[in-house]
Structure 1
Amino acid sequence: MTTLQERTVADVVTENIKAAHIFKKYGIDFCCGGGVSITRACEKAKIDPTILIEELQNLNTAPDRAFDFNSWKLDFLTDHILNVHHQYVEESSPLLLQYAKRVNHVHGHHYTELNEIEELVIKLVQAMAAHQRKEELILFPFIKKLVKAEAEGTEVPATHFGSVENPIHMMEEEHEEAGDFLKRISELSSGFTPPQGACNTYRAFYAKLDEFEQDLHQHIHLENNILFPKALKLEKTLQKK
C-alpha cells in the first residue's frame, strides 16, 4: 500500500481539492509540478515533511461533492473550466494590462523591476489568450466527442491531429510557459508584495496578480491532473472496442 509520503502531490489534490491550500501555503506546486512524491516535493521546498503530512491527515477526508472534480463527467468538467477559469482569464487580462502599464509608468523610474513585470504580463496575457482559443476550438470539442462516442457506442471520431495525446502535450507545454511567466513575476515582486507606502493602484495590481496565479494553479490542476489523463484513458478504451 502506498503511503501518503509516497503519493504524488497531484494525486492528493485530485482526491481532495482542499489539500491544494496546504501545498500552496508551503510553496509546493500542485499543478505543473504535481507529478512528484510528497517526500520529494518537501525536499525541493526545504520543509519538514512530517509537518505537511500531519496537516494533510487532519484535512476533512470527505471532499465536498459540489467540488469533487474527480467524479465529474469529462464534458461537464470542460464546461466548468470554460465557464469559470477561461472566463476569469478573459475578464482579468485587460485589467492586468491596464494596471501593469499604469504602475510602471508612474513608479517604474524608482522600482525598475516594474518594466520587466509589465513585459511579462503582456506575454502572459497573449499566451493565455492563444492557449485558451486552441482549447476552445480544438481540444475541448474533441473531448466532448469522445464522451459522446462512449455514450452512443460509436467509434472515435477522426481528427487532423491524430491522437488526443498530441494537443494535450502542446497544452501542457503552454501551461509550463504561463507558470514560468508568473513565477518570474512573483520573484520580481517579492511574492506580489507591494513596497511600503504603495498607492492603491500598485497594491491592487499585485493583489490581482496573486489572485490570477491562484486561479491559474487551479485551472492547470483540473486540466493536467484530471481532464487530460482521463481523456487519454477514454480514447484508448474506445480504440480497443
Structure 2
Amino acid sequence: MSSLTIDTRVSDIVTALPQSADLFRNLRIDYCCGGKIPLKEAAEQRNLNPEEVLSSIHSIEEKQENRMSMDPSSFGEKTLVAYIKEKYHDGLRDELPMLAPYITKVARVHGENYPHLLRVQEIFKTLRAELLDHTDDEDQNVFPIILEFLTNPTPELKEQLKPLVSELEAEHDNAGRLLYELREITDNFTPPEEACGTYRLVYARLEQLEKETFEHVHLENNVLFERIAKAL
C-alpha cells in the first residue's frame, strides 16, 4: 500500500516519485520552491480535488515499482552533485546560448502583433544571465563546500554554508517567479494557430527549459539542501 496521502508534502511526493513532477507541472502545482505544503492544500489552491490528484499519483506510482534504482534522490552526495552538474548545469550552458537567437528573431518579427513576445525576450535575457551565474557559483564555490561539509561537518563549515544555501534558495525562488510569468503570458506555452515554425520552436523549448529547471531546483532544494539541513 502506498505511503503517499493527501497529507504528504508535494516536495516529498516528487522526491519519492520523480515522475509525479510532470503531473504537478501540468496541473500547475509548484513542487520546487513552494512544494513544502501538503498535497491537499496545494490541490485546493488550484481548485482541484485532492483525492483525484492523489489517484493520479498512485497510478504513476504503480508503473514505477523499480524507480528507486534510477531516482537521483537516492544517489549519494557526490553522485547527486555530479548528476546535477552534468544533466542540468551543462545542459543550461548548451541550451541557453542556442535558444537566444530564436527568441530574438521571434520578438523582432512578431513583437508588433504580439507585444508579449517583447516581455518573453526580457524574461529570457534575465533568466539566462541569472541561471548561468547561479550554476557557475554552485560549481566553483558552493558545491565543493557542501561536499566537504557533508563529509566533515565542522562548526566553521556550518557557519560558512548557511548563508550560501539561503542565497541559492532565494535565487531559485526568483527563477521560479520568472518561469511562472513566462507560462502566464504565453498561455501555457500555446502558440497562436498561425504561428510560424520558429515561434512554435521557441515555445516548445521554453516549456522544456521550465520543466528541466523545476526538476533541477527540486533536486537541490528538496534533496541536497534537505540533507544539509539535517546535518546542520
Name the TM-score, length of structure 2 as normaliser: 0.92
1:84 aligns with 2:87: yes
Structure 1: which 5+ runs fail to align?
150-154, 237-241
Q: SS at 1:21's partner residue?
A: helix
Map residues 49-128 of structure 1 onto 2, 5 A cutoff. 49-58=50-59, 59-60=61-62, 62-128=65-131
In structure 2, relative to structure 1, the CA distance for the partners of 1:63 and 1:227 (3 Å cut) is: farther
Deviations 1:87-116 (A, max 9, x none): 111111112221111001111111111111
User: 1:24 & 1:57 partners in 2: Cα distance?
Assistant: 16
Give, in angstroms, the shift of residue 146 of structure 1: 2.4
1:227 aligns with 2:220: no
User: 2:44 & 2:190 partners in 1: Cα distance?
Assistant: 26
Alignment check: 8 A CA contact 2:11 2:32 kept? yes
Deviations 1:185-233 (A, max 9, x none): 1111111111112111111111000000000010000000000010232
Alignment check: 8 A CA contact 2:72 2:83 kept? no
Deviations 1:103-151 (A, max 9, x none): 01111111111111101110010110111111112210111212443xx
1:134 aligns with 2:137: yes
1:156 aligns with 2:154: yes
Which residue in the other structure is 2:186 paired with?
A: 189
User: 1:21 & 1:133 partners in 2: Cα distance?
Assistant: 27
**Once superposed, what is the RMSD of the aligned Cα atoms?**
1.8
1:10 aligns with 2:11: yes
Identity of aligned pairs, percent? 29
Q: Which has the larger radius of gyration?
A: 1
In structure 2, relative to structure 1, the CA distance for the partners of 1:148 and 1:21 (3 Å cut) is: same
Alignment check: 8 A CA contact 1:75 1:147 kept? no
Aligned amino acid, residue 207 of structure 2: D
- Equivalenced residues, count: 228
Q: SS at 1:77's partner residue?
A: helix
Structure 2: which 5+ runs fail to align?
none
User: 1:95 & 1:46 partners in 2: Cα distance?
Assistant: 38
Give, in angstroms, the shift of residue 158 of structure 1: 4.1
Alignment check: 8 A CA contact 2:24 2:30 kept? yes
User: 1:24 & 1:224 partners in 2: Cα distance?
Assistant: 17
Name the TM-score, length of structure 1 as normaliser: 0.89
**Runs of 4+ deviating beyond 4 Å:** none
Give, in angstroms, the shift of residue 80 of structure 1: 0.3
